Structure 1
Amino acid sequence: MESPPLKLNVARDEDRISDLPDELLLRILARLDLRDAVRAGAASTRWRHLPHQLSVLLLGVSRFRRATLVESMDAFAAALLSVCPPAERSCECQRSHAIKALALCFYLSAPHLSSIGRALEDVVSRGKTKWIEFRISPPPGDNTAPELTEFGQQFMSFCRAYQVAFRWLTSLTLENLAFGDSDVTDLISNCVKLESLALRACRMVNFEHSVLKIDTPCSGLQELNLVHFVCKRIQLISVPKLRQASCLIWRFENPPVRLDYVPDLRHVAIACLRTHPKAPFKLSECLSRSALNLSELHLNFFHQMIWIQPEHPKQLTAIFRNLSNASLSGIFPECDLSWTLFILEAAPALQKFGLSRTRHACANAWDNNAEKTNVVWDPSKDLKHMNLKSLMIDGFEEEDKVAAYIWLVVER
């Protein structure tokens, strides 16, 4: 629901707020949505110059609801240009203060991309911007595969056309786009300041055969979030600054993710919904031996097949030597739990260990589609774990199974 227009009494003798100094008025505007801040500037000559002095700007197209998408993007672009006027525009409202942080959420609308790109290049040309965040998606609707490919190409063209702006980008979220084989690597390589990348409901153009390969040895990317990314496999060949990787995958081969050179990696989360019989894979085939500082591991099975194969601790000790927090969620009710101890055996520094069968809404539709096979594993009787401080078990109704599992852990 669109918020009501900001009401200001523009008569000076009746508008006591306007008597405040600029510094205080800017603090007031900083707490408003940018759309309302722009309205304030339009409503009063006293406030007119203030929106152009804001150092933090947050602007989303969802705040400009009009009869058509084009009209919404018209309003969005107009608001952006009103506070980020092009350098060639000479007027009394010309921005005199550098923008330190800018966050924009908008649609891939071809008629508006050039004005947005030029405004952004003018912002970064001042050289004082510390944070730029984009969230970009196609216009709402049920887009076909060819349309997703077209939108993906449109975005990559936008990125190449305004390379100066994208070099300053620090955080990027993309939704519902299809990428060519080298597009994601090219994107990360061109965005030299990019720290966080999220790809949601995206895919490779030829997703049944294409592997998403990310090979960016010179990038500063620290966080990668892939949600419902459709491809054959995800392979991080070289992402040396990456600290956090999260992958939620529906369609995949074994192993679904391969982490090669990621020496700074601290946090890994992998969620896979497997509904068709396929041999499980070993974590040692997936995780990197270069990630010597891995401290958190979270796996989600969505109450379907257990897709990992327990393995001898010797295969994982080098990878898990600094692992302090691990959790396994979405374990189907009939599954035995003793197999999970292979992680405890391989992680001598583990302090927190959690098991959960809490239901995720995404799994409901697949409840009866997968043939679930119990996992068999004989834990070592000689294991002595001295560092475990917390064991959390949530959602299991079988008291005897839980009690037996707790006893297995306590024994160690």
Structure 2
Amino acid sequence: MPTSSADLDAQDPLAPYRVRFVGSASSLVYLDGNSLGRPLRTTADRLATFVVEEWGGRLIRGWDESWFELPEVVGDEIGRVCLGAAAGQVVVGDSTTVLLYKAMRAAVALQAADPARTELVVDRDNFPTDRYVADGVARECGMTLRWIDVDTTAGVTAEQLAEVVGEQTALVVLSHVAYRSAWLADGAELTRIAHDAGALVLWDLSHSVGSVPVELDAWGADLAVGCTYKYLNGGPGSPAFVYVAARHLDVVEQPVQGWMGAQDPFLMGPTYAPAPGVRRMLSGTPPVVGMLALQDMLALVDEVGIGAVRAKSVGLTEHAVELAADLLPDVALASPADPARRGGHVTLSHPLMREVTAELWRRDVVPDYRDPHGLRLGLSPLSTSYDEVERGLRTVRDVLDGLR
């Protein structure tokens, strides 16, 4: 029998933080925190203050006073709190898709001196945007995609990567946590394998940042990209971030040359010269409003510690797995059984899960659905309770019983 949800909540050192989130006291069961995180209550005050005092009060003077540097300031905080990245390597701006494109093109340019490196390696179960962008970059640059076929209930292993990389590999594009299964890749080992073959590695951290410890500098990673509206609770459409290792910063070139990434944006001269450091990855005007909520969540993760967040995440996913085994015996686990190989979500598989998901939403239980037949439970450690997980899975059982 699974451990009592009430006991787990009573023993949970992070339980007191849940009240800081909007909607946490409602009866709605929210199990989709890895798609869009709940807002913090303090963010409402921050937004109101910004409108009245900074935007309304300071107007364009805000650029000189703080806004201009905000992409680097917030980038450094993401790096320090969540990514194991020293200052000066992370900047915020654009969407995940745009930054993936910039980072892939930049990586290809870094490898241009070796004409034999004509392949981009990506797995067939990587997030669609990663695959689509890689396909476009390969066509633009006259390169070939080298695919890794993976188990959709798992992800890319060291053995699989070692089989495909070699003298022809320019760039390997990997997700740290697989969007479908939650497979947690071995960042250090996969990076080492790629580097031993002379390839660069671009990590997509969208499903790990804020829930799973990341150590980009220790891994020796080259580039990384991630979104901020999942476990970092930045809100719908909040901007993404990009990491470029310090050793590449003096030479890295990105393809969307805009004025905010220029050496002197206000010179407005006839030719482009890139800004020093990671700021050269910027293009247009920084999304200042989009970084407000993100700062609140970063402060909370910093207060709690990413290690404690990960421990709660493991506890929540373990509870979900145990409850599913008890309540849903004909439902398969489509995520790694070993919590050390699993990120912050759990996927359960059954032929009726598409219909189940639609009915769950009507009953104010909100997970999401991923083919094939996957009910995905995104368990955000600071805003999700053990009781919420149990109420959600009991409703899944009731809905499945009604559909059979």
Q: TM-score per shorter chain, which class?
A: under 0.3
More strand by share: 1
TM-score by length of 1: 0.23
TM-score by length of 2: 0.23
More helix by share: 2
